[in-house]
Chains A and B, each alone.
Chain A
Amino acid sequence: MVTTTTPAAKAPARRAAQAPAARPAKAPRRGRRSPLSSAALHLTLIAASVIAVFPVLWVLLTSLKPAKFAATTDFFKDTTFENYTNLLNDTPFLTWFGNSLLVAALTTVLGVFVSSTTGYAVSRFRFPGKRGLMWTLLITQMFPVAVLIVPIYNIMASMGLLNSPAGLVITYLTIAVPFCAWMMKGFFDTIPREIDESGYVDGLTPFGTFWRLILPLAKPGIAVTAFYSFITAWSEVAYASAFMVGDENLTLAGGLQKFVNQYGAQWGPMSAASVLIAIPAALVFLFAQRHLVTGMSAGAVKG
């Protein structure tokens, strides 16, 4: 159903895009459009918004229904928080949540900490090896999970780090470090060089300039980078599924798979867990999205 409406939504979109300009002679001024094309525009956007929001909304509604009605199409049926209380009391959800939080937070802090000076150096200095380093940062971001997963798994196994948050954090740093360095280079590029020069004039070393002048100015950029790497670690699936076993050690991505396996699906706790994971993340994301877009265009898109 969703997929049939998607191409259908596209057609009126095109038409609406052309309609106002198709009759410039009749329309008095640019920027005005006929009521008909205006309606088409709104209808298209409403249809697209419904498709975008509905799956998420449906899970939210399901989580508020008694588990036995989970698979019914009634929108509101005996609204209850039963699924949530069951989830929190009878499943290891909070443990998984804690594991995810710990791993993602450590990855973020370490990733940002390690790569901030590199972002600055690559943004400001010319030095032998810079090109090679930048290429490495770019290429490592292309690494498919399949290239590193087996060797890292074997290394972790021989070091006894499988099934431990530390092992997962180290693994996630392979994703976070190149990404953070690249993003932060983009943010440092937007800070005028005159500030560095004023620092040198005042007798600061490059480290001093970075630490006292540039880092405070780059705080918003660092926040965005940190947020991105947090989200990446928070929603990583492949490494988490392969490295962590046993109910106690799973992260959320692995834990949710427990509810939906090949033997059947517990949609009740699954939907409640999804809401508890998605709503905070979505709120923060929507709140921060303007900065995210700026960050993206500074870091990734321009690169």
Chain B
Amino acid sequence: MAVDTSSQSVAKAAGEDVARGRSRGTGNRQGAVKRSLSTHWYAWAMVAPVVIVIGVIIGYPLVRGIWLSLTDANERNVERSIGVNHIPATYEFVGVDNYVDALTGNQFLSTLGWTLVWTVSCVSVTFALGLGLANLLNRRIAGRSVYRMLLILPWAVPGFVSVFAWRFLYNEDNGLLNKILAGGGIDAVPWLNDPTWAKFSVIAVNVWLGVPFMMVALLGGLQSIPGELYEAAEMDGAGALQRFRHITLPGLRSVSTTVILLSTIWTFNMFPVIFLLTRGGPGEATQILVTQAYKFSFEISPRDYAQSSTWGVLILILLMVFAAVYRRVLRKQGEVW
């Protein structure tokens, strides 16, 4: 049910300009069509390439993905060619069975639980560190631009390279971290081989990757707060903590709500960190929804396309609900402020 509505809204949105223009025209006189076309002709022509591209390479696969999630498609029954033989699809429509299985089974819910822990802890730690560093960099200190450059570095390196660097550091036998611990007489830590440590390690890497973006965005926000506000508050005898609470935080509000929304969505979908660091292991300890959906369709045999699509659609619904609720909460707060 919920699947249908989401697909419709997206599909409708993609083709909306055409649909609306037509319907309005046919409802009224013939002249309205002409007028509308002649007024908006340029705009429609200009957006046409993107509408077509989105419709063909996003809309169509999306609809197909939703369809697959309502079938029992897997590697053995989809349409395929072996050599010159073309084998037609034999999978069948099964209704919402996949959704029922996912939502009543254990695996989806436990993976969702860890995905939420992963997202909340990554985003909150990243935000706290980013805010702290942005505040430090916003002060007048010697070598500020050097610090800034160095702190941005993790953002500048392609993500998969950084993740491999961390795998190198985390290596249980030869990794630098354990060598350092050994120097202090501490036993080797199984960074990526123990479920608890692995969870800790993947979060640490994602925080390391995410802080620079957060810091830069918040620094931009801090610099747009007028200095007079702080001076006036200081005159009135406000302490540092009060100034932080009543000037800095409200001043950063628009930037921070946006970066929190963005980084929540990114972290929820953060494929490379988990995939390249642990492949979801040990066991399924660090598997988030996205990597598990990928595993269904590309790592197990036979590839379970239906299950994978179901998880994909569920992830999308979760994110859209989250974005909608987040917006609503913000709007409500906005009236209070």
Chain B residue numbers with a CB within 8 Å of A148 are: 58, 61-62, 65, 312
Chain A residue numbers with a CB within 8 Å of B167 are: 260, 265
Instruction: Establish whether residues B147 and A45, one from each chain, have CB atoms under 8 Å apart when the complex forms.
Output: yes
Question: What's the Cα separation between A16 and B137 when bound, in Å?
Answer: 12
Instruction: Establish whether residues B168 and A18, one from each chain, have CB atoms under 8 Å apart when the complex forms.
Output: no
Instruction: Establish whether residues A117 and B315, one from each chain, have CB atoms under 8 Å apart when the complex forms.
Output: no
Question: What's the Cα separation between A58 and B153 when bound, in Å?
Answer: 13
Within the complex, the shortest CB–CB distance from A241 to chain B, in Å, comes to: 7
Contact bitstring B240-272, A, C-beta under 8 A = 1, else 0: 110110000000000100110010010011011
Size band of the A side of the interface? 35 or more
Question: What's the Cα separation between A256 and B157 when bound, in Å?
Answer: 15
Instruction: Establish whether residues A73 and B179, one from each chain, have CB atoms under 8 Å apart when the complex forms.
Output: yes
A270 and B168 in contact (CB under 8 A), knowing A49-B150, A133-B47?
yes
Chain B residue numbers with a CB within 8 Å of A173 are: 53, 57
Within the complex, the shortest CB–CB distance from B287 to chain A, in Å, comes to: 12
Q: Answer whether residue B286 sits at the interface, using C-beta atoms and an 8 A cutoff.
A: no
Chain B residue numbers with a CB within 8 Å of A152 are: 57, 61
Question: What's the Cα separation between A163 and B20 when bound, in Å?
Answer: 40
Question: What's the Cα separation between A301 and B260 when bound, in Å?
Answer: 10
- Decide if the interface of chain B is mainly helix, strand, loop or mixed: helix
Contact bitstring A163-202, B, C-beta under 8 A = 1, else 0: 0000000110110011001000000000000000000000
Instruction: Establish whether residues B312 and A127, one from each chain, have CB atoms under 8 Å apart when the complex forms.
Output: no
A113, closest chain B residue (CB): B49
Within the complex, the shortest CB–CB distance from B160 to chain A, in Å, comes to: 5
Chain A residue numbers with a CB within 8 Å of B201 are: 3
B65, closest chain A residue (CB): A151
Instruction: Establish whether residues B10 and A136, one from each chain, have CB atoms under 8 Å apart when the complex forms.
Output: yes
Chain A residue numbers with a CB within 8 Å of B128 are: 10
A301 and B258 in contact (CB under 8 A), knowing A52-B153, A118-B50, A151-B62?
yes
Give the number of residues in B that approach A within 8 Å (Cβ atoms).
123
B204, closest chain A residue (CB): A3
Please tell me which one of the listed residues B64, B316, B323 contacts residue A151 in the complex, with CB atoms under 8 A apart: B64
Chain B residue numbers with a CB within 8 Å of A144 are: 268-269, 289-290, 293, 312, 315-316, 319
Instruction: Establish whether residues A17 and B136, one from each chain, have CB atoms under 8 Å apart when the complex forms.
Output: yes
B266, closest chain A residue (CB): A142
Instruction: Establish whether residues B46 and A257, one from each chain, have CB atoms under 8 Å apart when the complex forms.
Output: no
* Stretch with Cβ within 8 A of A (4 or more), from B94-102, B170-178, B329-337: B170-178
Question: What's the Cα separation between A270 and B81 when bound, in Å?
Answer: 36
Instruction: Establish whether residues A142 and B320, one from each chain, have CB atoms under 8 Å apart when the complex forms.
Output: yes
Q: List 20 A-B contacts (CB under 8 A).
A: A16-B136, A55-B208, A62-B168, A73-B180, A125-B43, A129-B18, A132-B16, A144-B315, A144-B319, A148-B62, A150-B308, A154-B79, A231-B158, A238-B294, A256-B160, A274-B161, A285-B152, A297-B220, A300-B262, A301-B259
Task: Give residues in B with beta carbon < 8 Å to A.
Answer: 10, 12-14, 16-21, 24, 36, 39-40, 42-44, 46-47, 49-51, 53-54, 57-58, 60-62, 64-65, 68, 78-81, 128-129, 132-133, 135-137, 139-142, 147, 149-162, 164-169, 171, 173-177, 179-181, 183, 200-201, 204, 207-208, 211-212, 216-217, 220, 231, 234, 239-241, 243-244, 255, 258-259, 262, 265, 268-269, 271-272, 275-276, 289-290, 293-294, 297-298, 305, 308-309, 311-313, 315-316, 319-320, 323
- 10 interchain residue pairs of minimum CB distance: A129-B17, A132-B16, A71-B174, A146-B293, A285-B156, A121-B46, A146-B312, A21-B240, A127-B43, A151-B61
